[in-house]
Structure 1
Amino acid sequence: MKPRRVSWPISGFEPTSGAQRPTHPRWRRPRFAGVLIAAAVLAGCATANGHEQAACRQTVTATAYNSTPGQTDDRPNLGAWGDRLEPGMRIIAVSPDLIPKGLDRGTAVRIEGLSGTYRVLDRMPSRWHRKIDIYMGRDVAAARAWGRRRVTIRWPGEC
Structure 2
Amino acid sequence: MFIPKYIILIIILGFFNCKENEKVRERDEGLYEWKTINVTASAYNSLAYQTNSNPSIGAFGDSLVPGMRCIAVSRDLLKMGLKHNTPVKIEGFDSIYLVKDKMNARWEKRIDIYMGTDVKAARNWGKKKVSITYGIPKEK
Indicate the TM-score class for this superposition, using the shorter chain for normalisation: 0.7 to 0.9
Corresponding residue SS for 2:36:
strand
Corresponding residue SS for 1:102:
coil
Residues in 1 aligned to 2:115 and 2:125: alpha-carbon distance in whole angstroms: 10
Alpha-carbon distance change, 74 to 118 in structure 1, aligned in 2, over 3 angstroms = same
Q: Which has the larger Rg? A: 1
Tell me how far 1:126 sits from its aligned partner.
Answer: 0.6
Deviation above 3 Å: which 4+ runs of structure 1?
none
Quick one: which amino acid aligns to residue 75 of structure 2? Answer: P
- Paired residues for 1:9-158 under 5 Å: 49=28, 51=30, 53-157=32-136
Residues in 2 aligned to 1:93 and 1:147: alpha-carbon distance in whole angstroms: 15
Fraction of identical pairs, as percent: 48
Residues in 2 aligned to 1:95 and 1:49: alpha-carbon distance in whole angstroms: 23
1:81-105, Cα deviation, whole Å (9 max, x unpaired)? 1111000000100000001111000
The normalised TM-score by structure 1 is: 0.67
Alpha-carbon distance change, 84 to 49 in structure 1, aligned in 2, over 3 angstroms = closer
Unaligned runs of 5+ in 2: 1-26
Alpha-carbon distance change, 148 to 82 in structure 1, aligned in 2, over 3 angstroms = same
Report how many aligned residue pairs link the two structures: 112
Unaligned runs of 5+ in 1: 1-47
The normalised TM-score by structure 2 is: 0.75
